[in-house]
Amino acid sequence: MLKSTSSSAAPTAVITTRATTTLPAPDAINNYWIGTTITLVPYVLISAIGVLLVVLFHLVRNQQQLSQPKKHQRRQRAQSKARVPQGQVNRELESKLLLLLNHERGTAERLVHLAMQHKPGQTERWYLEKVIWDLERDRS
């Protein structure tokens, strides 16, 4: 704000400020930031380690999923293992199953096929025994 002191004298400029603010010393500012930075370092490190662990977990999980065969591939492998050459099929179990079903070969084959779909990876003997056991259980 400019004030003139008298009309005859040359105008003099006086600058006044309304409020004075005290600024902290530069050392205090530096100490504040250093202290804040030091207290934040553990949190930043812990967060970074957490992010790395999550990324590693997902990478390992994806790698395991890629190395495992799909469900249908496992089922096909299990069914191919379950197929036994015709000469090795247990004829005694087949005849017992046919007796239980009144010699209905279609029904016997259907029941064995359903058991193969329900529990893949077993032997032909196991499927025959399972179907026979289920039929005897259901009849008693």
**Residue 19 belongs to a domain:** no
Tell whether 96 and 43 lie within a shared domain: no
Domain that holds residue 46: 28-68
Rg (CA), the chain: 44
Could you tell me the pLDDT band of residue 44, with boundaries at 50, 70 and 90?
confident
Tens digits of per-residue pLDDT, 14-26? 555 565 666 555 6
CA pair distance 104, 112, nearest whole angstrom: 13
More confident site: 84 or 115 = 115
Domain match, 58 and 90 both: no
Query: What is the identity of the amino acid at 56?
Result: L
- The predicted pLDDT at position 73 comes to 61
More confident residue, 93 or 74: 93
6 is a domain residue: no
Q: Looking at the domain assignment, is residue 21 inside a domain? A: no
Same domain (yes/no): 116, 77: yes
Q: In this structure, are 106 and 59 located in the same domain?
A: no
How far from 50 is each of 58, 99, 111, 135, CA to CA, in Å? 13, 65, 53, 56
